[in-house]
Amino acid sequence: MGIFKLSENISIKKKGENYLLFDNLNGNIYKINEVSYKILSLCNGKNTEEDIIKNITSSFSVAHEEAVKDFNVLMQNLLERLYVANV
Which strands form 29-32's sheet, in the order they lie side by side?
Answer: 10-15, 18-23, 29-32
The pLDDT tens digits for 8-65 are: 999 999 999 999 999 999 999 999 999 999 999 999 999 999 999 999 999 998 999 9
- The predicted pLDDT at position 1 comes to 66
- The predicted pLDDT at position 68 comes to 95
Q: Domain of 57?
A: 3-86
77 Cβ neighbours under 8 A, 6+ residues apart: none
Q: How many domains does the chain have?
A: 1
What CATH number does the domain containing 80 carry?
3.90.930.60
Q: What is the pTM assigned to this prediction? A: 0.91
Mean pLDDT score, 67-84: 94
- The predicted pLDDT at position 12 comes to 97
